[in-house]
Amino acid sequence: MSKENAHPITACLLICCPDRPGIVAGVSQFLYQLGANILDASQHSTDPREGLFFMRMEFQLDLLDKPALEAAFQQQVATPLQMEWKIDYSDRRMRMAIMVSAYDHCLLELLWRWKSGELPVDIPLVISNHSLLEKECTAMEIPFHYLPVTNATKAVQEDAAIRLLEEHQIDFTVLARYMQILSPQFVSRYPQRIINIHHSFLPAFAGARPYLNAYTRGVKLIGATAHYVTNELDEGPIIEQDVARVSHKHTVEDLVMLGRDIERQVLTRAVKAHVNNRVILHGNKTIVF
């Protein structure tokens, strides 16, 4: 193709590899030879016992052939430096599904951020095991799918949800207070592609009723945690957390009200980090640039 057919796009490269001299130089030289303009670069080296290097590099390039660029990078840079890497491009928006039950605060926060343009994703659908929030979604012209579930129908309901996610080519799913435990079969289909908000500052008070448990223990801090979903309940890699101070004067209801504000903010920040390719997963923890 001729240069006239090129169109500038922004790309984001995430890298994990053994730490050694010359990594930044190797990547930068490769991009320089392509005529790329590096917009942002961040890196992190672990302690010598782990000996790992992580990097996020954002660059702009008149790109003609993505497969050719990726093949060249693999051959010239990634293989010699033993890299695990991924690259995403700005000319394609991520497609995000939302799964929610009856609580509306996290769902409405995400929809408002999306509507205002602050969350640059497409939202092809919302899935819920309750019908209560359908009006809120249809008001924003987002298809709402009511999939009720009982213990006896859980497998059938999850199969229906998976079909919807596949049909709409969903990149990742957000559990916006979806009060169902996903099966291992469901989770295994979408590694590092399901984000959950838990109404507690994990690892404290995992599981159900964390605000009541926090009140009973007389804690002085409550919080919320956004994490990737794994088969271990509430133990997936943490993306974002926040807390608020509380005292003996706060009732359980007060803690719930305060907690919902924190949940909204934490979940939004986690989703933004994922969408902006600022998260690298390493084992059961994350590096968030």
Of 272, 263, 265, 181, the residue nearest 230 (C-alpha): 181
Selecting among 19, 88, 159, 234, the annotated active-site residue is: 234
Q: Please give the Cα distance from 60 to 5 (Å, whole number).
A: 16
Cα–Cα–Cα angle for 221, 264, 277, rounded to 5 degrees: 105
Element (H, E) at 101: none
> Which residues, 6 or more positions from 272, have their beta carbon under 8 angstroms from its beta carbon?
119
234 catalytic, yes or no? yes
CB distance 110 to 267 below 8 Å: yes
Max alpha carbon distance in the chain (Å)?
Answer: 70
CA–CA–CA angle 240, 246, 249 (5° rounding): 155
Which amino acids are annotated catalytic?
Answer: 234
